[in-house]
Amino acid sequence: MATTADYGLGEYTFPRGWFMVADAEELKSDPLAVRFFSRDFVLYRGKSGKVVMLDAYCPHMGTHLAKNTSSYVVRDGERIEGDSIRCPYHAWRFGPDGKCDDIPYSKKIPKAACVKSCTVVERAGAIWAWHDPEEQEPDMELPLFMQWDDPAWVRPVFDDLGMLACHPAEVVDNIVDVAHQLPIHGQDVFEFEVEFKNDKVTHRETGISRTALGDAGAKLSIDATYYGPGILLSAMGGRFPSYFLIAHTPVEDGVIHVWHAALVQSANVPPGANDIAMARAFQAASRESFAQDFEIWSNKRPAVDILQLPDDGCYARSRRWYGQFYRPRSEAAGIAEHINGTFGVRGVARPSASEVGQDQ
């Protein structure tokens, strides 16, 4: 397993950006113990419905705020009060800002009685957290995922694909990797280009797919954008206008957690049972296609250096683009400025115009 330092991406181990940290369905009444960026967190829903993500360990004596079943705080259902959470050990209570706001046996609350609170947003059925090594406010947009609330689209159920012991740099390589499309995905690519634009990179391609994602022999168009380092949204034309979403979040240096979902436009509004069944089948086909990449990533040795051909995609540019998120944000604009632009691949035609809109 190779690390961020091995790839020379930047000085921070984990990138700055928005990352998926849970399927909102997982977050019912019990707090969740989650681990990302080599840190443990507690994720819970307050009584108002607000989602809160705090560092997991109580500053009093280090108790994990989520991992307990036997304390009377837990048994009596007193863990979540309003939008605050009580520690199971001595019942100190912490607000959504991470500050201790009640110690049942003491009038004095020390200033140091606080845990770090993360910026989180609940959107499109998922919980998204802002991670920033410099601990500043978000400077990137989280996609709106507009189709999620559009009755003309079938709302998906997330596939939790679990852990992948592969550095995310290699997953992001996929955005420029035109040469794997035919052997891995059975996709005969006719046109291809990649556009780097600040914190986003988009690939546009058209081709014919052998998989269940396309009609046999019919042209398929894909317009896939990374919104920062961990959220990929692909708009697909063809038989089923759709968006598929891949979210990957660092857990340790060189290990990620991956989720997948597909939003599919329905023939009927609101979608009927058949439309939902079609959308589920389409998501399964999309998952199967992604599983082909996943199998490679699960078993390969790290490609810290790529034996690059001129006919390959622009891996070096893509990795420099990805590296901006591992460096101070004051350097990111300068890095992007040198990378921005639209690039083709030798021997492959460029699309005349994007055939599917990217309106997230």
Cα-Cα-Cα-Cα dihedral sign, residues 91, 40, 245, 164: negative
Looking at residue 254, the DSSP 8-state letter turns out to be T
Q: Which of 14, 44, 92, 192 binds ligand FES (CB under 6 A)?
A: 92
Q: Which of Fe ion, ligand FES, none lies near 213, with the C-beta cut-off 5 to 8 A by kind?
A: none
Q: Which of 4, 63, 174, 202 binds Fe ion (CB under 5 A)?
A: 174
Residue with tokens 């559009």: 150
Site membership for ligand FES, residue 63 (CB under 6 A) = yes
Q: Closest distance between ligand FES and the C-beta of residue 72, in Å? A: 13
Q: Is the peptide bond before 271 cis (omega within 30 degrees of 0)?
A: no
Taking CA 336 as the corner, what is the angle to CA 323 and CA 176, rounded to the nearest 5 degrees?
65
Q: Give the residue among 226, 181, 223, 184 at the shortest CA–CA distance from 205.
A: 223
Q: Which of 60, 99, 197, 287 binds ligand FES (CB under 6 A)?
A: 60
Only segment of 22-30, 59-67, 177-185, 268-276 that touches ligand FES (CB under 6 A): 59-67
Cα-Cα-Cα-Cα dihedral sign, residues 130, 134, 137, 139: negative
Residues 246-305 that bind Fe ion (CB under 5 A): 293
The type of residue at 251 is V
In the structure encoding, which two tokens stand for residue 139, read together? 């400077």
- 35: CB partners within 8 A, 6+ apart: 41, 251
3-state helix, strand, coil in the chain (%, to 5): 25, 35, 45
Q: Which of ligand FES, Fe ion, none lies near 174, with the C-beta cut-off 5 to 8 A by kind?
A: Fe ion
Q: Which of 12, 89, 190, 343 binds ligand FES (CB under 6 A)?
A: 89
- For ligand FES, which is the closer residue by CB, 30 or 191? 30
Q: Give the residue among 242, 245, 241 at the shortest CA–CA distance from 233.
A: 245
Q: How many CA atoms lie within 13 A of 47 on its CB side?
A: 10
Q: Which of Fe ion, ligand FES, none lies near 293, with the C-beta cut-off 5 to 8 A by kind?
A: Fe ion
Q: Please provide residue 52's backbone torsions phi and psi, each rounded to the nearest 5 degrees.
A: -125, 140
Q: Closest distance between ligand FES and the C-beta of residue 59, in Å? A: 8
Q: Which of 39, 90, 99, 329 binds ligand FES (CB under 6 A)?
A: 90
Only segment of 6-14, 29-37, 57-65, 236-244 that touches ligand FES (CB under 6 A): 57-65
Whole-angstrom distance, CA of residue 357 vs CA of residue 360: 9
Nearest residue by C-beta to Fe ion? 293
Site membership for ligand FES, residue 81 (CB under 6 A) = no
Rg, C-alpha atoms of the chain: 22
Q: Closest distance between ligand FES and the C-beta of residue 65, in Å? A: 8
Site membership for ligand FES, residue 61 (CB under 6 A) = yes
Q: Closest distance between ligand FES and the C-beta of residue 119, in Å? A: 24
Residues 52-91 that bind Fe ion (CB under 5 A): none
Binding-residue total with ligand FES (CB under 6 A): 8
Residues that bind ligand FES (CB under 6 A): 58, 60-61, 63, 87, 89-90, 92
Residues that bind Fe ion (CB under 5 A): 174, 293
